[in-house]
């Protein structure tokens, strides 16, 4: 484990009506909560063996997240009006702790592999300014940078199919180097979840 590396996990404290709103619209809030808890377990497995912190929202304290992420180096609240603000605050918080290579991930990409995280840190540690794991919906499931390249977090079109394109434009405009990881699907709607489970059964 490289002590300069850290993963920031963006997570909501689980509870009825907290997460997976698009699944809740079609399947109900109880189902959405159960699926989100399953995704939390998957994320915990993905980051096992890495050094990580959890940036939480949805409650005044991390609550049950401490059970899911029992090996976290720490928990801190997300701060900001939108995802971009929250990302920038979280990266500053972790950089201030002395970490040099930092990646942020959510809890909705169970297709992400440990190899993707290892690849991300390899490139951040070998003269690459930024790393992105593209999501199939036009966003990304992972973004990583070093302290000098945090301007890569300045996108405006959050939760948009144009997020990846905008972020790449910011990276190129700043002259940063980038490495792209394999693309993976996010779990946003019930069909995404069913497709993932079907793939697991077929594996």
pLDDT digits (tens, 9 = 90+) for 134-183: 999 888 999 999 999 999 998 887 777 889 999 999 999 999 999 999 99
Give the max Cα distance, the chain: 46
- Degrees to nearest 5, angle at CA 81 with 131 and 9: 40
User: In this predicted structure, what is the pLDDT of residue 66?
Assistant: 97
Task: Give 1's pLDDT tier (boundaries 50, 70, 90).
Answer: low
The bridge status of strand 130-134 relative to strand 52-57 is unpaired
Mean pLDDT score across all residues of the chain:
93
Instruction: Say what the pTM is.
Output: 0.95
Q: Give burial (CB, 10 Å; 0-12/13-18/19+) of 166.
A: middle
User: Quick one: which of 193, 34, 180 has its CA closest to 110?
Assistant: 193
CATH topology assigned to domain 5-202: Spore Coat Polysaccharide Biosynthesis Protein SpsA; Chain A (3.90.550)
- The H or E element spanning position 37 is helix 29-47
**For position 203, what pLDDT does the model report?**
66
């Amino acid at each position: 484990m490289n002590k300069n590396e850290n993963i920031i996990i963006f997570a909501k404290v689980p509870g009825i009506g907290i997460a997976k709103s698009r699944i809740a619209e079609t399947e109900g809030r109880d189902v959405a909560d159960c699926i989100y808890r399953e995704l939390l377990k998957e994320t915990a497995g993905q980051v096992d063996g890495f050094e990580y912190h959890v940036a939480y929202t949805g409650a005044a304290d991390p609550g049950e997240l401490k059970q899911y992420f029992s090996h976290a180096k720490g928990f801190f609240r997300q701060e900001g009006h939108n995802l971009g603000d929250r990302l920038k605050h979280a990266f500053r918080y972790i950089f201030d702790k002395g970490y040099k290579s930092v990646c942020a991930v959510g809890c909705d990409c169970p297709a992400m592999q440990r190899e993707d995280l290892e690849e991300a840190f390899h490139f951040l540690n070998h003269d690459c300014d930024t790393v992105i794991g593209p999501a199939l919906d036009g966003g990304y499931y992972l973004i990583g940078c070093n302290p000098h390249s945090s301007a890569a977090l300045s996108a405006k079109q959050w939760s948009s199919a144009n997020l990846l394109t905008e972020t790449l434009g910011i990276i190129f405009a700043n002259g940063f180097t980038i490495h792209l990881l394999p693309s993976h699907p996010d779990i946003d709607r019930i069909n995404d979840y069913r497709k993932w489970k079907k793939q697991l059964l077929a594996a």
